[in-house]
């Protein structure tokens, strides 16, 4: 019998919810001095460096098969490059709380992707109904019937980021489940590929900026004002807070969080591990309201509750139907 872990999976589960839930707050603060593309690139670089270092310390190695790296191009895009960029871009137009709500669409997208990509996979009637209800929740948040609706482009980018996660994890299950990568090899390779794919995006973005390629390293020491966190009269002491927030997002919220996720799945199973997805927006909303002073309208709160309820139904374990056992005839009696 293997020894019990020093830290129970429940503590790691709670830590992961808080870490990923706070990522939207960290991105919002980072946007005070960095662009969305810079945030996504820095997050991937520091996250990949963190998990590759841990992989090396544990004596692990990256996969060597070419077909594995071919599929990792897709997972690197869907689990790193695209969603990291989309979520950061969305927060240039909407609050961190609303961007976090967009992440709750991940389990809904996962159900649809599973039905499309996994042969033989069938969704139960309650899960299909929950998907429809989840879409109604999204429509409620967007409030197309009012003029006070949130920025649809910004919220749409957050929704697309959540959808990318659902597609990415399903693709990973479909095409990389048989790859014996073990330990931290697969998450390390995924982040590394996402980092490599982010390189041309960053270079193109830099070339299009007025300052040229040098814009990639540009850092605006703008004073943190009332739009984010009060920094005092001059704000000088907070000049590097945005950068520190993104470094924390990369090292802890991207690199180290992968290890926690794997430990939770090993300790409690994939069903319990998947419930983290719809607890993250709760933390992001609370931090946005309590720390950043953001506000959600009534319809946004109602839609949020509907989406969370739908996600909870989608993540609920399927009931197992007991198979009737054949009756065993007593001795001397024919069956």
Asked whether residue 172 carries a pLDDT value surpassing 90, the answer given is: no
Residue 128 has pLDDT above 90, yes or no: no
In this predicted model, what pLDDT tens digit does every residue of 212-225 receive, in sequence order?
999 999 998 765 54
Most confident of 75-84, 109-118, 121-130, 175-184: 75-84
- pLDDT (tens digit, 9 = 90+) per residue, 190-247? 999 999 999 999 999 999 999 999 999 999 876 554 444 554 444 455 788 999 999 9
* Mean pLDDT estimate for the chain: 83
Report whether pLDDT(274) > 50: yes
| pLDDT over 70 at 326, yes or no | no
pLDDT band at 332 (very low <50, low <70, confident <90, very high): very low
Instruction: Return the pLDDT at 233.
Output: 40
Helix/strand/coil (H, E, C) string of 211-255? CHHHHHHCCCCCCCCCCCCCCCCCCHHHCCHHHHHHHHHHHHHHH
**Beta-carbon count within 10 A of 299 CB:** 18
Tell me the DSSP string of 269-300. Answer: -HHHHHTHHHHHHHHHHHHHHHTS-----HHH
| pLDDT tens track for 254-264 | 998 877 876 77
pLDDT at position 227: 47
Cβ 22 vs Cβ 284: under 8 Å? yes
Question: Residue 182, class by beta-carbon neighbours within 10 Å (0-12 exposed, 13-18 middle, 19+ buried)?
Answer: exposed
The predicted pLDDT at position 165 comes to 87
Match 């982010």 to its residue by tokens: 198
- Indicate the pLDDT class of residue 5, thresholds 50, 70 and 90: low
With bands split at pLDDT 50, 70 and 90, how would you rate the model's confidence at 107?
Answer: confident
Cα distance between residue 226 and residue 124, in whole Å: 48
> pLDDT > 70: what percent of the chain?
81
Mean pLDDT of 97-113: 84
Average pLDDT over residues 15-35: 94
Task: Work out the pLDDT band at 180, boundaries 50, 70, 90.
Answer: low
Give the DSSP letter string of 67-103: HHHHHHHHHHIIIIIHHHHHHHHHTTTS-HHHHHHHG
Higher-confidence residue of 323 and 7: namely: 7
Percent of the chain with pLDDT over 90: 42
User: What pLDDT, on the 0 to 100 scale, is given for residue 37?
Assistant: 98
pLDDT band at 266 (very low <50, low <70, confident <90, very high): low
pTM: 0.84
pLDDT of residue 331 exceeding 70: no
């Amino acid at each position: 019998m293997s020894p019990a872990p020093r830290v129970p999976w429940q503590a790691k589960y709670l830590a992961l919810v808080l870490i990923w839930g706070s990522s939207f707050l960290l991105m919002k603060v980072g946007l005070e001095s960095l662009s969305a593309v810079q945030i996504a690139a820095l997050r991937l670089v520091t996250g990949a460096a963190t998990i590759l270092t841990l992989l090396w310390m544990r004596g692990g190695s990256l996969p060597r098969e070419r077909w594995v790296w071919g599929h990792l191009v897709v997972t690197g895009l869907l689990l790193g490059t695209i969603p990291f960029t989309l979520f950061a871009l969305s927060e240039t137009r909407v609050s961190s709380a609303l961007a976090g709500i967009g992440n709750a669409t991940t389990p809904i997208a996962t159900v649809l992707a599973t039905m499309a990509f996994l042969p033989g996979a069938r969704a139960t009637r309650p899960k299909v109904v929950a998907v429809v209800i989840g879409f109604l929740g999204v429509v409620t948040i967007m409030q197309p019937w009012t003029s006070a609706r949130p920025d649809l482009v910004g919220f749409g980018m957050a929704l697309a980021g959540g959808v990318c996660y659902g597609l990415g994890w399903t693709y990973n299950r479909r095409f990389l489940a048989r790859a014996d990568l073990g330990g931290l090899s697969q998450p390390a390779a995924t982040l590394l590929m996402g980092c490599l794919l982010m390189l041309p995006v960053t270079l193109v973005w830099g070339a299009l900026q007025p300052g040229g390629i040098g814009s990639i390293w540009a850092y605006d020491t703008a004073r943190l004002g009332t739009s984010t966190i009060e920094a005092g009269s001059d704000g000088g002491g907070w000049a590097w807070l945005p950068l520190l927030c993104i470094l924390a997002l990369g090292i802890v919220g991207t690199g180290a969080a992968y290890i926690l996720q794997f430990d939770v799945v090993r300790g409690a199973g994939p069903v319990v591990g998947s419930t983290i997805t719809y607890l993250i927006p709760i933390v992001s909303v609370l931090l946005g309201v309590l720390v950043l002073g953001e506000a959600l309208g009534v319809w946004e709160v109602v839609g949020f509750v509907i989406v969370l309820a739908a996600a909870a139904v989608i993540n609920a374990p399927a009931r197992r139907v007991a198979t009737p056992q054949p009756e065993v005839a007593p001795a001397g009696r024919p069956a």
